[in-house]
Chain A
Amino acid sequence: DADVTQTPRNRITKTGKRIMLECSQTKGHDRMYWYRQDPGLGLQLIYYSFDVKDINKGEISDGYSVSRQAQAKFSLSLESAIPNQTALYFCATMPSGGNEQFFGPGTRLTVL
């Protein structure tokens, strides 16, 4: 019954490979976010989207791209993965005019 789902939950890949992480939500929220968490640190914003046609870079967007396929779907791509992109990736949603973000379960990505 998760309202925000992420696939895959775990992924191991090799340097130079392209990889896509997917996020889906059933909350009906317009706003969606991708964050990255490095070990021992808080989360940092990669990209965010206020609706299907509105996509914005966050603090650490280099090396990443996103696609908002529908209100409910927001994908994060690593065009050519590198080892320092090994991290825990979170998707989050928030309603327009709202104030509280809700997070998915996370995707643990390892780049060898």
Chain B
Amino acid sequence: GIQVEQSPPDLILQEGANSTLRCNFSDSVNNLQWFHQNPWGQLINLFYIPSGTKQNGRLSATTVATERYSLLYISSSQTTDSGVYFCAVDPYGGSQGNLIFGKGTKLSVKP
């Protein structure tokens, strides 16, 4: 089946710094979503982005479907950005909506 790899696995930043998180996937996808899991365990939708670029405040994401990767950019990081960031894909030709998750990038933002 499709493989989803996220890097780096862990990231420590000073407040105010910028960062880039990467998601590589091994096959074509119908759908790609980025999530933030906060320290309380809740999953928050960040982006639905099977291709192209989107921005939402300090966060933006780019997916290059032909090269099978997606990037999540966090600018001017804040302590509230801490948590785990997941990339999840719905494989092309699959049953639609059965998301395959990467193992996540754990982000810690220090004040």
Contact = CB atoms under 8 A, between A and B. Distances in A.
Interface of A: 31, 33, 35, 40-45, 48, 56, 58, 88, 90, 92, 94, 99-103, 105-106, 108
Contacts of A41: 103-104
Contact of B97 (A31, A90, A103, A108): A31
Interface in B32-53: 33, 35, 41-43, 45, 48, 50
Given A100-B45, A105-B42, A108-B41, A44 B101 contact: yes
Nearest to B103: A42
Contacts of B35: 103
B69 interface: no
The 6 closest A-B pairs by CB, nearest first: A42-B101, A100-B48, A103-B43, A43-B101, A99-B31, A94-B97
Given A43-B88, A44-B101, A99 B43 contact: no
Nearest to B47: A100
Given A42-B88, A88-B41, A90-B43, A33 B97 contact: yes
A102 B33 CA distance: 10
The contact size tier of chain B is 20 to 34
A101 B30 CA distance: 13
A90 B99 CA distance: 13
B25 interface: no
Given A40-B103, A42-B88, A100-B48, A48 B98 contact: yes
**Which among A31, A33, A101 has the highest number of chain B CB atoms within 10 Å?**
A101
B99 A45 contact: yes
B98 A102 contact: no
A87 B35 CA distance: 19
B41 A43 contact: no
Given A35-B99, A42-B101, 7 more contacts: A33-B97, A33-B98, A40-B103, A92-B99, A99-B90, A100-B45, A106-B43
B62 to A, nearest CB: 17
B42 A99 contact: no
